Amino acid sequence: MRRLLSQCGCLVLIMLLSGCQMFVDNRKEALLVISADQWTDMQLKVTELEKITRERNKPVALPGSELITFSSETDAYLAGCRKLGIVEVHHYGTYDEAVILIRNQAFKMDASVIAPLDAYQDKSPLIAEDSRLNFIQGRILRCPKTEFSSDNEASQTRKET
């Protein structure tokens, strides 16, 4: 009996020292085993769901935000514009969507000009075009209304009607 205990103790000691690892799985539900075809179908459904979600969450331009222009800081200051702050946009999607987001934010701040400070787009070849990281940083400025701009707006409305 003593010999059996010493052999079992040695066996346990060898297992502990030999680097064997034991994995304890605390799951309550059973593990689902699926075939490769089922896995492929599941992956296709997930990618389709991601596309639908991306389309549903696509940013929409606020009415009037398209009138906000991009200009250099120097030109804006010479026109008498005053700064309202700096806005940064980090967006996973297309670059145009990031521009829509920064224009929407500027419109909410009642701005008229955005002076771009920094822009970055991920150019990794492994990432799809609609899921790239886009970063835009811009100084938000409000410019005074001038007679020229109000005359220009009036002529544009006459052309449209």
Mean pLDDT (the chain) is 84
Q: Is the pLDDT of residue 135 over 70?
A: yes
Q: At 160, is the pLDDT very low, low, confident or very high (cuts 50, 70, 90)? A: very low
What is the pLDDT, as a whole number, of residue 146?
Answer: 64
DSSP the chain: -HHHHHHHHHHHHHHHHTT--------SSPPP---HHHHHHHHHHHHHHHHHHHHHT---PPTTGGG-EE--HHHHHHTT-EEEEEEEEEEES-HHHHHHHHHHHHHHTT-SEEEEEEEEE---TTS-GGG-EEEEEEEEEEPPP-HHHHHHHHHHHHHH-
Q: Which of 32-46, 79-93, 147-161 has the lowest mean pLDDT?
A: 147-161
Tell me the per-residue pLDDT of 23-65, one tens digit each, with 9 for 90 and over.
777 788 877 888 999 999 999 999 899 889 888 888 999 999 9
Domain ranges of the chain: 59-145
Tell me the per-residue pLDDT of 108-134, one tens digit each, with 9 for 90 and over.
999 999 999 999 988 887 777 777 889
What is the pLDDT, as a whole number, of residue 155?
Answer: 45
As a whole number, mean pLDDT of residues 61-86 equals: 91
- 59-145 falls under which CATH superfamily? Hypothetical protein apc22750. Chain B (3.30.110.70)
Q: At 19, is the pLDDT very low, low, confident or very high (cuts 50, 70, 90)? A: low
